Amino acid sequence: MLSDSDDITVLGCVRTLPELLIKLRILTIHVIVLSCYEPGENDIEMIRIIQREHPQIKILILAMTAQESFILRTMKAGAKGFLSKDSDRSELIEAILTLRNGYDYYSKPISEIILRKYLHNPATNGILKNQPAGPLSEREMEVLRLFAESYTNREIADKLFVSIRTVESHKNNIMRKINLKTTVDMVKFAIKNNLIEI
């Protein structure tokens, strides 16, 4: 799926953690795509080890399951992106490039699972409710609304006739201006401030 991409160089494919750790010592790797066919504790531990020994590397999960508990555990362990098994080539490439540029990436179904968990967590209820949206520019508000409505970076870029990098820059500015930590916070902020309807 990636061999003929102009923007991505595949440096290797391994089947075990020891093989991976050897490659990480001799190669400069920016993103790891971790295929989880039967997700379990071994995958979570692998993420922890990679993050501990190579914190600069971004980990993208490609999983055969979208179980909420597994998704949340991979996030807690340090993964920065998650794609379900039905993701296509273009989304895989977009996810890799998004992580490479320093942003998290979750496919639409995964974002909805994370958001549902986040919104129903009493500990986070109301945290962003009264946060003003005033500092955002008109274009940033537009990007925020589209993102909160589950548009991908590529879809937002196409809709606004800008580059994916510009969209990522807008999202970064939004998070900085209104002091948000994660992309899920952006969606929750939009909902709490009636920027979108649910």
Tens digits of residue pLDDT in 37-81: 877 788 899 999 999 999 999 999 998 877 778 888 888 888 988
Residue 57's domain is classified under what CATH number? 3.40.50.2300
Are the C-beta atoms of residues 14 and 23 closer than 8 Å to each other? yes
Same-domain status, 43 and 86: yes
Residue 156's domain is classified under what CATH number? 1.10.10.10
Same-domain status, 149 and 96: no
- Domain boundary pick from 64, 92, 107: 107
Cα separations (Å) of 17 from 82, 110, 114, 145, 155? 19, 26, 28, 40, 35
Q: CA angle at residue 191 from 188 to 195, to 5 degrees? A: 125
Tokens linked to 84: 């379900």
Reported as a pLDDT band with limits 50, 70 and 90, residue 124 is very low
Q: Which domain holds residue 179?
A: 138-192
pLDDT for the residue 158: 93
Q: How many domains does the chain have?
A: 2
Q: Is pLDDT larger for residue 136 or for residue 131?
A: 136
The CA dihedral of 75, 79, 80, 86, to the nearest 10 degrees, is: -90
Q: Is residue 123 a part of any domain in this protein?
A: no
